Every structure is written in structure tokens, then in C-alpha cells.
């Protein structure tokens, strides 16, 4: 049974995933303004992934006979600071999303919603990957230590991301 509580929580998570996409687009715009096209490309790809995550939830709610109710999305920040600061914010955001997914899974457990539990396993695994990716980039940025040559090289690497 697809409970109203799980449906409402999934609708909230659709909004959260769309906000994540919006946040990463804002970070892409920040990097574009700073002439870091590779980092902007990485963030655009990240935004695309977040939109896909929202649509997976959207489709799941509909498949379960629920009703998708879209909610207002807050405006993201405009300025983010240095590369290091942007990826610190990225990691913190992904950790926040992990908590949201964990809470959604806990609700599905409480509601004995086995289909949602199975569905959410993908998101749990995805969040491990998201946090690992941001952590890796943060480590590389700390090695670069704000030096222009290192930032340009890392920007080039980040720009190779598909999506």
C-alpha cells in the first residue's frame, strides 16, 4: 500500500532533487562567470543528474497510483566563493540529501512499504557515489591549494565529465 505519508514525503523529495539541480546550475553559472568552463560543465552534468533523480521519483509516485504535487523551489545562492568553497558546499549539500533519503527510507520502513524500500535502495547507493565524488574533488583542490596552474589543470579534468 502506498500511504499518503510516503507519497507526501516523495513529493517533498521531488522538490528537493529539483532544488539540487537548481543549486548546481547556479554553481555552473558561478564557474562560467569565473571563466572555469570545465567546472561549469561538471556542475551542469550534476544538475542533469539531479533532474533525473527527481523524474525517477515522479514516475515512481505515478506508478504506485499516487499523485505528484509539485512545490515551489527556493532560489539558490548566486555567489559561492572559491573552488574549494564551492565543493565544500557541494559535499555538505550531498550529505544533506543523504539524510533526506535516509529519512524517506525510514518512513517507508515504518509504513511497511516494501516497494518504496526497494526503490529507495538505488538512491542510497547513489548518495554514496555522490559524496565520494565530491570528497575526491575536495581532496584534489586541497592539494592544489588555490594555485592557478593546479586549478586550471583540475578545471580541464572536470570538463571531461559527460552528461
96 within a domain of the structure (yes/no): yes
84 within a domain of the structure (yes/no): yes
Evaluate whether 27 touches 80 at the Cβ level (below 8 Å): yes
Evaluate whether 53 touches 62 at the Cβ level (below 8 Å): no
pLDDT band for 161, please (50, 70, 90 cuts). confident
pLDDT band for 162, please (50, 70, 90 cuts). low
136 within a domain of the structure (yes/no): yes
Q: What are phi and psi of 80, to 5 degrees?
A: -130, -10
69-124: pLDDT as tens digits: 999 999 999 999 999 999 999 999 999 999 999 999 999 999 999 999 999 999 99
77 within a domain of the structure (yes/no): yes
**Number of folded domains that form the chain:** 1
Which three three-digit cell numbers place residue 10?
A: 516523495
40 within a domain of the structure (yes/no): yes
12 within a domain of the structure (yes/no): yes
Give the per-residue pLDDT at 2: 86
Q: Which residue has the higher pLDDT, 161 or 159?
A: 159
Choice among 4-18, 45-59, 144-158 with the minimum mean pLDDT? 144-158
18-56: pLDDT as tens digits: 999 999 999 999 999 999 999 999 999 999 999 999 999
163 within a domain of the structure (yes/no): no
Give the per-residue pLDDT at 163: 56
116 within a domain of the structure (yes/no): yes
pTM for this structure?
Answer: 0.95
What is the extent of the structural domain holding 39? 4-158
Considering only CA atoms, give the Rg of the chain: 17
Question: Cα 13 to the chain's mean position, in Å?
Answer: 11
DSSP for 94-124 reads HHHHHHHHHHHHHHHHHTT-HHHHHHHHHHH
Q: Look at residue 138 and tell me whether its pLDDT is greater than 60.
A: yes
Q: What is the CATH number of the domain that holds 108?
A: 1.20.1260.10
Amino acid at each position: 500500500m502506498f500511504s499518503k505519508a510516503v507519497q507526501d514525503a516523495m513529493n517533498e523529495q521531488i522538490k528537493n532533487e529539483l532544488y539540487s539541480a537548481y543549486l548546481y546550475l547556479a554553481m555552473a553559472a558561478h564557474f562560467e562567470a569565473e571563466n572555469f568552463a570545465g567546472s561549469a560543465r561538471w556542475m551542469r552534468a550534476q544538475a542533469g543528474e539531479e533532474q533525473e533523480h527527481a523524474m525517477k521519483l515522479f514516475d515512481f509516485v505515478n506508478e504506485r497510483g499516487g499523485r505528484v504535487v509539485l512545490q515551489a523551489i527556493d532560489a539558490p545562492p548566486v555567489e559561492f566563493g572559491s573552488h574549494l568553497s564551492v565543493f565544500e558546499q557541494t559535499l555538505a549539500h550531498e550529505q544533506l540529501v543523504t539524510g533526506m533519503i535516509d529519512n524517506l527510507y525510514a518512513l517507508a520502513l515504518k509504513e511497511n512499504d516494501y516497494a518504496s524500500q526497494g526503490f529507495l535502495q538505488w538512491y542510497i547507493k547513489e548518495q554514496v557515489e555522490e559524496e565520494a565524488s565530491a570528497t575526491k574533488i575536495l581532496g584534489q583542490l586541497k592539494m592544489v591549494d588555490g594555485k592557478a596552474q593546479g586549478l586550471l589543470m583540475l578545471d580541464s579534468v572536470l570538463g571531461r565529465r559527460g552528461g
